[in-house]
Amino acid sequence: MDATFSHIKAVLCDIDGTLLTSRHTVSPRTVAAIRALRERGVLFGLCTGRDAHATEAMYELWGIEGLV
């Protein structure tokens, strides 16, 4: 891992206007970036005002696994 980012322990991300594209999907590039973080031991989580159950149902559709 690049030493510049070795101090990062977790990344938290909003959904609307941040994680989602204008088509309300998560791009393959974003999914790959999340997976790369996880492979480096960085925790990834969502910070959202959305209902937890509705958000959880979207993870599989987005291809995102192992969220905090």
Domain range enclosing 26: 10-62
Q: Is residue 1 part of a domain?
A: no
- Please state, as a whole number, how many other Cβ atoms lie within 10 Å of the Cβ of residue 34: 22
Residue 24: is it exposed, middle or buried by C-beta count within 10 angstroms (0-12/13-18/19+)? exposed
Q: Is residue 26 part of a domain?
A: yes
Domain count, the chain: 1
Q: Is residue 68 part of a domain?
A: no
Q: Is residue 36 part of a domain?
A: yes
User: Tell me, what's the pLDDT at 46?
Assistant: 84
CB contact at 8 A, 54 and 19: no
- Mean pLDDT (the chain) is 81
Residue 17 has pLDDT above 60, yes or no: yes
Q: Which of 8, 47, 51, 50 is nearest to 67 (CA)?
A: 47
Q: Is residue 53 part of a domain?
A: yes
Q: What is the mean pLDDT of residues 51-66?
A: 74
- Paired with 45 in beta bridges are 12
pTM for the model: 0.74
